[in-house]
């Protein structure tokens, strides 16, 4: 399985209402994508130093499922409606994880 982790730093003008809206949109999107075996998103708690404001983690079966998620119309719609105007910077990594890991 693959764990996809995306970290976002917001533009300075992004407010809490926009963050709440993107969270709701991402959670709704994820609930309709069958290739996702696990999904979490939310605001950085800032328990350790990091420039990231927000994180998304998605658990998928394989590289094909990751591509299906990232290239899905639902993912593109959330990006176009919310993320495109909010993101100052983005980083992403993919990690191999053993079967049976849950998010």
* Domain regions of the chain by residue span: 2-96
Structural tokens at position 75 = 């993912």
Q: What is the pLDDT of residue 100?
A: 75
User: What is the torsion angle, in degrees rounded to the nearest 10, for the CA atoms of residue 59, residue 24, residue 53 and residue 79?
Assistant: 80
8 Å CB contact between 89 and 8: yes
Residues 44-78: pLDDT tens digits?
999 999 999 999 999 999 999 999 999 999 999 99
The model's pTM is 0.91
Q: Is 9 helix (H, G, I), strand (E, B) or coil?
A: strand
Residues 10-29: pLDDT tens digits?
999 999 999 999 999 999 99
Is 2-96 assigned to CATH 3.30.70.100?
yes
Burial (CB < 10 A; 0-12, 13-18, 19+), residue 66, is buried
Burial (CB < 10 A; 0-12, 13-18, 19+), residue 34, is exposed
Q: What is the pLDDT of residue 103?
A: 66
């Amino acid at each position: 399985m693959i764990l996809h982790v995306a970290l976002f730093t917001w533009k300075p003008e992004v407010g809490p209402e926009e963050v709440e809206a993107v969270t709701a949109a991402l959670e709704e999107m994820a609930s309709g994508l069958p290739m996702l075996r696990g999904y979490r998103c939310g605001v950085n708690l800032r328990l350790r130093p990091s420039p990231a404001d927000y994180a998304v983690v998605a658990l998928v079966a394989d590289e094909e499922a990751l591509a299906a998620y990232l290239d899905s119309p639902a993912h593109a719609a959330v990006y176009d409606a919310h993320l495109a105007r909010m993101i100052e910077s983005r980083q992403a990594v993919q990690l191999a994880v053993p079967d049976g890991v849950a998010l």
